[in-house]
């Protein structure tokens, strides 16, 4: 199931060709995107997602269509989604730099997709992760902005390769590790640890994507009296915490039960509390 909208709000056939073969997103992965969870017609964290799309465009030095166009396209997808049969959708906003050797006019669209059964299984059962080298130091982002660390670009081939590597090792997911041994993020998620009544996540200046889901969780947790910390932690902390989760828009807050083949502490009550905090935002 796909619902596809252009930035003027027109709904188009999702099976018909949309991009030119010389579009820079096709030939170079040169563009940016966001994926937003929509539940019962309500997009979650739409403002932070659009803020992050603008941040990625700035980092990429690319022209971005105005915010109203993205809101219009998102609304068109939501209004045309079959809500009676599907109570959730994953809404992708995609913006390419435009055509190769063109005038720099970006190409954008919004596409609604079903949330897949694998994601729903992982939400329910949790995940086994492997830690994999990411190959850079946590201070590289500030020294080398051209590497676009922490921009949400369309170049996700490495992230997808890491997930294939996880599967080949019998796991579901990945936590990337920096050259100094600190944990970074998943290929499509942020990592959150609980230690007592404190939640901890990795700082965005390490080159990770600042997560809207982690942000929503921390917002609710702070209101409920939890302490929250945004700081580096060694990957071993994944084994020594009271709970560990992967957070992202479509997976929501998925618990990690196994790290590199070792079972870690899983506390159902704590998991229910954490997911309840996240859901309390909506």
Ligand X SMILES: Cc1ncc(COP(=O)(O)O)c(C=O)c1O
Cβ 8 to ligand X shortest distance, Å: 26
Pick the closer one to ligand X by CB: 99 or 243.
243
Q: Which of 121, 118, 96 minimizes the C-alpha distance to 109?
A: 96
- As a whole number of angstroms, the distance between CA 97 and CA 26 comes to 10
Contact assessment for residue 199 and residue 191, using Cβ atoms and an 8 Å cutoff = no
Cβ 258 to ligand X shortest distance, Å: 20
Cβ 212 to ligand X shortest distance, Å: 3
Cβ 189 to ligand X shortest distance, Å: 5
**Maximum CA pair distance of the chain?**
56
224 three-class SS: coil
DSSP H helix total and E strand total for the chain = 8, 14
List Cα–Cα distances, 233 to 105, 131, 183, in angstroms.
42, 14, 6
Other Cβ atoms within 10 Å of 8 Cβ, number:
10
Cβ 85 to ligand X shortest distance, Å: 24
Which residue in the set 4, 32, 35, 132 belongs to the binding site for ligand X (CB under 6 A)?
A: 35
Which residue in the set 132, 199, 247, 259 belongs to the binding site for ligand X (CB under 6 A)?
A: 247
Cβ 104 to ligand X shortest distance, Å: 26
Pick the closer one to ligand X by CB: 99 or 175.
175
Pick the closer one to ligand X by CB: 11 or 153.
153
Cβ 124 to ligand X shortest distance, Å: 19
- As a whole number of angstroms, the distance between CA 280 and CA 47 comes to 17
Pick the closer one to ligand X by CB: 76 or 247.
247
Pick the closer one to ligand X by CB: 23 or 173.
173
- As a whole number of angstroms, the distance between CA 233 and CA 193 comes to 10
Binding window for ligand X (CB under 6 A); candidates: 59-67, 106-114, 124-132, 245-253: 245-253
Torsion angle in degrees (nearest 10) through CA of 144, 60, 151, 100: -120
Pick the closer one to ligand X by CB: 109 or 278.
278
Query: Which residues are within 8 A (CB) of 78 and not within 5 positions of it... i.e. 6 or more apart?
Result: 38, 41, 43, 89, 91, 112
Cβ 48 to ligand X shortest distance, Å: 7
Query: Which residues are within 8 A (CB) of 41 and not within 5 positions of it... i.e. 6 or more apart?
Result: 78, 81, 83
Residues in contact with ligand X, counted by CB under 6 A, come to a total of 14
Pick the closer one to ligand X by CB: 9 or 156.
156
Pick the closer one to ligand X by CB: 99 or 209.
209
Phi, then psi, of 144 in degrees rounded to 5: -135, 70
| Interface of this chain with ligand X, residues 168 to 227, rule: CB under 6 A | 185, 188-190, 208-209, 211-214
Binding window for ligand X (CB under 6 A); candidates: 84-92, 165-173, 241-249, 262-270: 241-249
Site residues, ligand X (CB under 6 A)? 35, 185, 188-190, 208-209, 211-214, 247-249
């Amino acid at each position: 199931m796909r619902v596809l909208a252009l930035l003027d709000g027109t709904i188009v056939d999702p099976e018909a060709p949309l991009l030119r073969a010389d579009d820079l997103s096709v030939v170079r992965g040169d563009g940016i995107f966001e994926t937003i969870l929509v539940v019962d017609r309500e997009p979650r964290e739409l403002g932070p997602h659009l803020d992050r799309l603008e941040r990625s465009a700035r980092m990429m030095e690319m022209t971005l269509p105005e915010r109203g166009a993205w809101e219009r396209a998102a609304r068109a997808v939501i209004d045309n989604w079959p809500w009676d049969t599907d109570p959730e959708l994953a809404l992708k906003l995609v913006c390419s730099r435009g055509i190769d050797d063109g005038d720099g006019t970006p190409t954008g669209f919004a596409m609604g997709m079903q949330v897949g059964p694998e994601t729903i299984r992982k939400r329910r059962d949790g995940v086994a992760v492997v830690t994999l080298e990411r190959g850079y130091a946590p201070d590289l982002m500030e020294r080398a902005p051209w590497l676009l660390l922490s921009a949400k670009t369309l170049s996700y081939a490495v992230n997808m390769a890491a997930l294939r590597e996880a599967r080949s090792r019998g796991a579901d997911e990945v936590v990337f590790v920096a050259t100094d041994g600190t944990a970074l993020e998943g290929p499509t998620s942020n990592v959150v640890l609980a230690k007592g009544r404190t939640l901890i996540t990795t700082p965005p200046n390490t080159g990770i994507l600042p997560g809207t889901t982690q942000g929503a969780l921390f917002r609710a947790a702070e209101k409920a009296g939890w302490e929250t910390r945004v700081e580096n932690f060694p990957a071993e902390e994944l084994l020594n915490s009271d709970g560990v989760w992967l957070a992202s828009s479509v997976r929501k807050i998925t618990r990690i039960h196994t790290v590199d083949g070792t079972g870690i502490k899983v506390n159902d009550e704590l998991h229910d509390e954490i997911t309840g905090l996240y859901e309390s935002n909506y």
